[in-house]
Structure 1
Amino acid sequence: MTRPENGPAQGPLSAASSGPARASRRGEPRTYDFRRPTKLSREHVRVLQIGQEAFARQATTVLTTMLRAGARMELRGIEQHSYDDYVATLPNPSFIATFTLEPLAGKGLLAYPLDIAMAAVDHMLGGSGTSDQPDRPMTVMETTITNHLLNRLLQEWVAAFAHIAHLQPELSEVEYNPQLAQAASGSDTVMVASFAMAVGSRSGEATLVLPFSSFATALNNAASPHLSESAQAKRRRAFEALSERLTQVPVEVGVRFTPLEVSSEDLLSLAVGDVLLLRHPQDAPLEVTTNDVTFAYAIASNHRRRLAAAIVPTPLAAQKDTA
Structure 2
Amino acid sequence: MTQPATGPDAGEAGPQSPEETPESPTAAAQPPAPAGPPSPGAGTSARNRRGEPRTYDFRRPTKLSREHVRVMQIAQESFARQATTILTTFLRAGARLELVSIEQFSYDDYIVTLPDPVFISTFSLEPLAGKGLLAYPLDIAMAVVDHMLGGSGSAGQPNRPMTAMETTITNHLLNRLLDEFATSFGPITELQPALLGHEYNPQLAQAAAGSDTVMVATFTMAVGSREGEATLVLPFSSFAQALNNAASPQLSETALAKRKRAAEALSARLNLVPVDVSVRFAPLTVSSADLLSLAVGDVLLLRHPPDAPLEVTTNDVTFAYAIASNHRRRLAAAIVPTPYAAAKDSA
TM-score by length of 2: 0.59
Residue aligned with 2:127, SS: coil
The residue number in structure 2 matching 1:3 is: none
Deviation for aligned residue 1:28: 2.5
Percent of aligned pairs sharing the same letter: 78
The residue number in structure 2 matching 1:111 is: 135
- Which of 231, 238, 244 in structure 2 is aligned with 1:220? 244
Shift in CA distance, 201/22, structure 1 to aligned 2, threshold 3 Å? same
- Which of 147, 151, 166 in structure 1 is aligned with 2:190? 166
**Alignment of 1:60 onto 2:84:** yes
Q: How does 1:1-323 map to 2 (within 5 A)?
A: 23-224=47-248
Deviation for aligned residue 1:132: 0.3
Residue aligned with 1:173, SS: strand
Q: Within 2, Cα distance between the matches of 1:92 and 1:23?
A: 39
Q: Within 1, Cα distance between the matches of 2:118 and 2:47?
A: 35
Residue aligned with 1:187, SS: coil
Q: Within 1, Cα distance between the matches of 2:168 and 2:91?
A: 15
Residue aligned with 2:108, SS: helix
Deviation for aligned residue 1:36: 0.8
* Superimposed CA distance per residue, residues 36-71 of structure 1 (whole angstroms, 9 cap, x where no aligned partner): 110000100000000000000000000000000000
Residue aligned with 1:30, SS: coil
Q: For residue 183 of structure 1, what is the amino acid of its counterpart?
A: A
The residue number in structure 2 matching 1:280 is: none
Residue aligned with 2:216, SS: strand
Larger Rg over CA atoms: 2
Q: Give ranges in structure 1 of 5+ residues lacking alignment.
A: 1-18, 237-323
Q: Within 1, Cα distance between the matches of 2:249 and 2:48?
A: 39
Deviation for aligned residue 1:32: 1.0
Deviation for aligned residue 1:30: 2.1
Q: For residue 48 of structure 1, what is the amino acid of its counterpart?
A: M
* Superimposed CA distance per residue, residues 153-177 of structure 1 (whole angstroms, 9 cap, x where no aligned partner): 0011110000001000100110000
Deviation for aligned residue 1:24: 1.4
Displacement over 2 Å in runs of 4+: 19-23
Residue aligned with 2:154, SS: coil
Q: Within 1, Cα distance between the matches of 2:174 and 2:250?
A: 33
Residue aligned with 2:87, SS: helix
* Superimposed CA distance per residue, residues 2-56 of structure 1 (whole angstroms, 9 cap, x where no aligned partner): xxxxxxxxxxxxxxxxx95565132132221001110000100000000000000
Deviation for aligned residue 1:222: 0.6
Shift in CA distance, 132/23, structure 1 to aligned 2, threshold 3 Å? farther
The residue number in structure 2 matching 1:306 is: none
Q: For residue 49 of structure 1, what is the amino acid of its counterpart?
A: Q
Q: Within 2, Cα distance between the matches of 1:86 and 1:20?
A: 33
Q: Within 2, Cα distance between the matches of 1:102 and 1:40?
A: 22
Residue aligned with 1:33, SS: coil
Q: Give ranges in structure 2 of 5+ residues lacking alignment.
A: 1-42, 261-347
Q: For residue 216 of structure 2, what is the amino acid of its counterpart?
A: V
Q: Within 1, Cα distance between the matches of 2:163 and 2:54?
A: 42
The residue number in structure 1 matching 2:17 is: none
What RMSD, in angstroms, separates the aligned Cα atoms of the two structures?
1.9
Q: Within 1, Cα distance between the matches of 2:95 and 2:56?
A: 36
The residue number in structure 1 matching 2:275 is: none
